[in-house]
Amino acid sequence: MDHVGIVVDDLDAAVAFFTELGMEPGGRMPVQGQWVDRVVGLDGVEVEIEMMRTPDGHGALELTKFHTPDLISSAPDDAPPNTLGLRRVMFAVDDIRDTVDRLRAHGGELIGEIDRFEDLFLLCYLRGPAGVIVALAEQLR
């Protein structure tokens, strides 16, 4: 897999959120033209993207802000974890409570609770930019 794309309505806020999570911005750029219209099957596409890379360089998120055509909501912003489709992206973190506190300052909302899976992990779900669920896992051993 190369990357996962997330369409957002506020690119700056999404970049700040994922930067706080430890991802590294790779540069913002506009994308438009007939080639992108043909690839995505829409007319008049004008977007701005920011590629966010994991610190190890093995994973990436493409954050996309559509200027045209207008955004369309596929589900409520607070769709629950059992909604069909892409629901979450999981990240390994060193300190889950500290990460949750830092992400709250960027609009992250804890969905349930931080809880322990056996003696292996602390886990939680947060709602992040564009309603995407960001799962966090802190390894205990």
Identical fold between 4-68 and 88-139: yes
Q: What does 77-130 look like in DSSP terms, one character per residue?
A: TT--TTSSS--EEEEE-S-HHHHHHHHHTTT-EE-S--EEETTTEEEEEEE-GG
If you average pLDDT over residues 72-91, what whole number do you get? 81
Q: How far apart are CA 106 and CA 10, in angstroms?
A: 12
Residue of 97, 80, 78, 86 lying closest to 137 (CA atoms): 97
Check residue 87 and give its pLDDT.
78
Query: For residue 35, what are the CA distances in angstroms to 31, 42, 118?
Result: 10, 10, 50
Specify the pTM. Answer: 0.91
Domain edges within the chain: 4-68, 88-139
pLDDT at 1 over 90: no
Q: Average model confidence (pLDDT) for the chain?
A: 93
Please tell me which residue, 126 or 83, carries the higher pLDDT value: 126
18: confidence class by pLDDT, cuts 50, 70, 90: very high
Q: How far apart are CA 43 and CA 108, in angstroms?
A: 33
Q: pLDDT tens digits for 20-53?
A: 999 999 999 999 999 999 999 999 999 999 999 9
Fold held by 4-68: 2,3-Dihydroxybiphenyl 1,2-Dioxygenase; domain 1 (3.10.180)
> In this predicted structure, which of 52-61, 83-92, 123-132 has the lowest mean pLDDT?
83-92
Pick one of 3.10.180.10, 1.10.150.120, 3.40.50.720, 3.40.50.2300 as the CATH number of 88-139.
3.10.180.10
Q: pLDDT tens digits for 87-106?
A: 789 999 999 999 999 999 99
